[in-house]
Structure 1
Amino acid sequence: MAHIDYYFTPLSPFTYLAGSRLEDMAAAHGATITYKPIDIMALFAATGGTPPKDRHPNRQVYRMQELERRGKLSGLPITLKPAHWPTNAAPACYAIIAAQNAGTGDVGKLAHSLMAACWAQEKDIADEKVIKECLTAAGFSDDLTSTGLLVGAEVFAKNLEDAVAAGAFGAPFYITDSDQRFWGHDRLDDLQAHLEGRI
């Protein structure tokens, strides 16, 4: 059975635009997923990346055009300049980690609902109320925002170390148990081909 370590942040619009494709292909191929939310700015700093606001204007213009195109192609609604972006993603990431540990609901649905809250619904994913709503909708207890805080913080820090050690440098980043690495939602077709044994 294949396994995928999934490094991501709810702050990434391209991760949001992947929708549920990762979960769908994992289910189709009997693969398992470990969700590893990360501090994307810390990952950039550790691996030579540049935050969007510090990129050359040419790259910033291209990014906005690409987001608009990818939004239309994905069929997912997206706000190109959300009211609450960037924000502190740590509380949402802690909740995802706590939910994965709890194992009682749908982690993929939780992660995507938090991204949708940011990128489509103009909500602040640092707001405990928003996180609680997403937890409940995905089948988890909303008290994970408090009971999972300590473990969430510890694992969140370790996820960053794991990401750097494993070779990740952006989000979304998918790494299989055979150390095949795929960066970006636009590489999900390649990941699928790998799972099918075609590459």
Structure 2
Amino acid sequence: MPHIDYYFATISPYTYLSGTRPSEVAKKHGATITYKPCDIMGLFSRTGGVPPKDRHPNRQAYRLQDMERRAKLLGKPLNTKPMFWPTNSAPSAYAIIAAQNAGHDVSELVATIGSAIWAEEKDISQDDVVRAALEKCGLDPALADKDMLTSAETFGKNLEDAVSAGVFGAPFFVVDSGQVFWGEDRIDDLDAHLAGRI
């Protein structure tokens, strides 16, 4: 049974645009998937990346156009300059980690948190927003505060694991076959790989 480590940032627009497709691809091929939220700014600093605000204007302009195009192709609403971005991603990441540790499928939760930023103008650093996302997904809102030390340690370990695994952006998929896929627009490639076509 193949396994996918899914590295992502809850504040990433491309994580939002990925929606639940990573889980759908995994299920289609009988693969397991581990969700590994990590600190994207920390990942950038460790792997030669640059935060969007510090990129050359040409790169910033392209990023906005690309986001708009991808959102239209996927039929997803997107505010390219949301009110609460960037923001502290740790509270939302901790909730995802706690929910996964409790045995829940967190695919919908990841998608719901992304939508809160990029489509609903909500601040995912706020406890009430995280709790509302959990509740919307049929999960216990108290998971937002459960085993926070464990979640914090896992969040930090995910960054170390990401760097060790060759990850440098989000979303990023590491398959136990040794193949890696970067970006929302490579989910089809991940699908093809798991199908044995590439």
TM-score tier after normalising by the smaller chain length: over 0.9
Q: Any gaps of 5 or more consecutive residues in structure 1?
A: none
* Alignment map for 1:21-100 (pairs within 5 Å): 21-100=21-100
Alignment-derived partner of residue 107 in structure 1: 106
1:78 alignment partner AA: L
Residue 146 (structure 1) shift = 1.5
- CA distance in structure 2 between the partners assigned to 1:129 and 1:62 by the alignment: 34
SS at match of 1:168: coil
**2:126 counterpart letter in structure 1:** D
Over the aligned positions, Cα root-mean-square deviation in angstroms equals 0.8
Any gaps of 5 or more consecutive residues in structure 2? none
Offset of 1:115 from its aligned partner?
0.4
Classify the secondary structure of the residue corresponding to 1:17.
helix
User: After superposition, what is the alpha-carbon deviation per residue over 1:123-177, rounded to whole angstroms, capped at 9, x for unaligned?
Assistant: 0000100100111122221111212311110000000000000000000000001
Residue of structure 2 equivalent to 1:190: 189
> What number of residue pairs does the alignment pair up?
198
The aligned residue for residue 119 of structure 1 is: 118
CA contact (8 A) 1:37 1:93 kept: yes
Give the aligned partner of residue 136 of structure 2: 137
- TM-score, normalised relative to structure 1: 0.97
Q: Which amino acid in structure 1 is aligned with residue 128 of structure 2?
A: K
1:2 is displaced (CA, Å) by 0.9
Q: How far apart, CA to CA, are the structure 2 residues paired with 1:185 and 1:150?
A: 30
Residue equivalent to 2:150: 151
* Alpha-carbon contact 1:98-1:144 (below 8 Å) kept: yes
What amino acid sits opposite 2:99 in the alignment? A
CA–CA separation in structure 2 for the residues paired with 1:19 and 1:139: 17
What is the alpha-carbon distance in structure 2 between the residues aligned to residue 147 and residue 85 of structure 1? 25
Q: Percent identity?
A: 60
> Contact 1:89–1:126 at 8 Å: present in 2 too?
yes
How far apart, CA to CA, are the structure 1 residues paired with 2:164 and 2:148? 24
Q: Secondary structure at the residue paired with 2:149?
A: helix
Aligned residue number for residue 11 of structure 1: 11
Match of 1:160, as an amino acid?
L
Q: Partners of 2:121 and 2:9 in 1: how far apart? A: 17
Question: Counterpart of 2:174?
Answer: 175
The secondary structure found in structure 2 opposite 1:53 is helix
Deviations 1:26-56 (A, max 9, x none): 1111111100000000000000000000000
Aligned residue for 1:78, secondary structure, equals: coil
Structure 2 distance, partners of 1:71, 1:148, is 35
CA distance, structure 2, for counterparts of residue 84 and residue 148 of structure 1: 26
Q: 1:135, 1:3 → 2: CA distance? A: 25
